Each structure stands twice: as structure tokens, then as C-alpha cells.
Structure 1
Amino acid sequence: MNTTSSTKQDILHCLLKQGRSPAQDIAEILGISPQAVRRHLKDLEEEHLIEYETTQMGVGRPQLLYRVSPSGREQLRHLQQLQEGATPNGFAVELLGAVAATVSPEQMQDILQKAWQQKALDYRKQLGNGPLGDRLAQLVKLRYAEGYMAEYYPVTDAENPNAYLFTEYNCAISSVAQTFPTICEHELEMFAIALEHCQVKRTHWMVDGEHRCGYLISPIN
């Protein structure tokens, strides 16, 4: 990808958050002309960073819905890790592979779980004991520094007062997770430990084919 094109990166980030969108919606979100968006989409498609599907929405011509391709996700993840100085995952995959070759599957599962538990305790120390919104703001910073595109916002739901939705649109350890998919299963447990006195429920999961991972986080009174 031509990294000098901030507009292309903006389009990729927009699609990463939206999941899939037509060119017109991207133009409205970014505040640029649909013609300019379509030119960039054509370039991104040629670079294999996006893909599209055709759908019929009402009468008229079929509409093209664009989404970030697996190569595009990997490119964004790599760029963010470079910007944030995050550690590449190649050595982690090799190290875990060497460990997996010398221990039983049960022992490997225990190792991964203990690693997530330690990560959760490290997060807890850095998040402190302030209001939930403040802790989530700090968690977003920590995760972003690790290569995740994360955000949070309050939930306007009478059934979940004072709750927040914490969302991640990419996976900073995707290469590790592809080799050791059980790693993803521990993320819910990790956030529950890191955010004391909170209930954490998974709402979206990339493993299930969704374009993001999401967690509903509610304080326990």
C-alpha cells in the first residue's frame, strides 16, 4: 500500500470499523467526494487490500459493498505495530511452536491460560481503581500501543445502565491466533480479571466471522 496516501488509510480504517460499506457511505463518513473514494477503492482493490460483493438493494442497479481483505487487515496491523513500536509476532509463533512440540496439549493449554492471567494482572495494575470510563480509556491506550485498533463508548440501554461497549477492529496477534486459536478463548477471561468489579460479556467475535471483537462491560454494584 502507498503509505503516503492518508486518504487510502482512512478508507481502510473506515471499512475496518464498518465491516462493509458502499462507496457513497464511505464518502459521507470521511467527508470527501464519492468520485475520489471510488478512485482510491480501485487502487486498493488492485493492491488486493480490499474486496467487494454485489448486492441488490431495492430497485435500480446492484450495489457494490466493499470490505477489507485479509491482506488489508494484515497490512493495517503491521503498519500500526510499526507506528506504536509493538513487537512482531513471528518469534512468538516460533517460540510457542517449540513449546507445543515438547509438552502435552493439556500442558500447552495451561501455559496459555497462565500467560493470559498474568497479562490480565498487569493490565489491572495499570488501569487502577478509578471510574469504569477512565479505566476503559486507559485500556484503549494500552491495547492500541500493542497494535490493536480499539475504542469504547457508553451503551444507551435501559437494561445495562452505566455500561460500555469495548470494541477491537483488528487482532494484533492474528498470526499467533491462526496457529494457536485457543488463545482467543482466553481474551474474555483476561478482560474480566483486568476490570475489577465488572461483568464482561462477549458481543462480537472475529472467530465467528464478524468484522470486530466486542465486549459489553457493566459495573457490578
Structure 2
Amino acid sequence: MRILTVPPDHYADHPNELAQMHRLRAIVFRGRLEWDVSVTEAGEFDEYDKFDPTYILAIADSARVVGCARLLPTQGPTMLERTFPQLLGTGSLGASSPRVESSRFCVDTTLAEARGGGQLHLATLTMFAGIIEWSMENGYDEIVTATDLRFERILNRAGWPMKRLGEPREIGNTIAIAGSLPADPESFDRVRPMGYRSAISDNARPKIRSAA
């Protein structure tokens, strides 16, 4: 399994992977979690896909997309401030250039591959490592996100605890929470699974050692 990062200027290079991503989002958010999201025959899309995000994708050895997340700098429009400001204690993230927002995180846990440490799925740990690695590479030291209490527990089990930015709130059929996560080498080393591969580490980034 490897991490693929797809910034806006590379969308045209990865149409198949992005199409798989949108279909996976539909399966997870509408099908499994029963969220009220917009789904078409092409998959799940929302307004934040129009703001030129970078997508982080976990790719299985079969070339199947098994995990994804969407990253947007917090200087621009974000889901937390526009859609879920009630999750923020102050109602705002404030101006902070080293922050990036992660949203639409999901993994295909039906994949028949080994699970990682603490029984977390390999795709989950690979995605965590990919998000941290990309954030550090691009000058961000903090990741903010809106998630739920179940996923907050998964982050704790992975050794990447989230700092809450407000109180939990009932939104739709879930109890949602906003939080921030560190993007630093220590967090990367804790979550990175054995055999982790990405375009960044494969290009011999000196500050982050590759997994054996």
C-alpha cells in the first residue's frame, strides 16, 4: 500500500484514482454512515471540492483506492468555519497560516489486507501517516478537522490524540467534535505502519526516514 498526493495541478493526471475516491466517499458516507450528503452516479461531491483541495489517497497493491482525505488551507474556505462553526468554541478558527483542514476522511475497511498495530486497519494508519507527511512537507504544523466521537477514539488508539476545539454536538445521526492534530515527526513515527510508502518518502526526503 502506498500514499498518492493529488494537488490541483495534477487532477488531470489521475482521473481514475479521483473517480474511485468519489465512489468510495459515496459508499462510506451515504451507504455505511447514512450521512445526508449529495451523491450522484459519479460518487459523493460537495462544495469544498470546488476550492482546489489536495487529495491524499491510499492505494492498494491492486491499484484500488482504499482511503482518502481532502486538505484545504485554513486561510481560505473551510468546512469547519462555513458548515460546522457550532463545533468551534469561538465560532472561528482564527488566522493561522501553519494550519490545514482535513475533511472527507474515509477508508475501505473491507480490504483483505493485514491490520496495523492495535488492530487498526492498515489503510487507516497509512492515511494518518500520509496526511502528516504531506502537511510537514508543505509547511503546516497543525491539522484541524471535524469528526465524531468514534473517530476520536481511533485517533487515540493510533497514538495521535486530538485536541478538542469545542464541545461535542449532535449533528444529524452522529455526535460531532472539532479538534486539532499535530503534524510533526514524532506523530508521523507513531502512526506510520511497517512498509509505508509515499511519493515524498520515495523521493528521499532527508528529514523523514523511510520505513524498512
Shared fold, TM over 0.5 = no
Q: Which structure dedicates a bigger proportion of its chain to strand?
A: 2
More helix by share: 1
Q: TM-score, normalised by structure 1?
A: 0.26
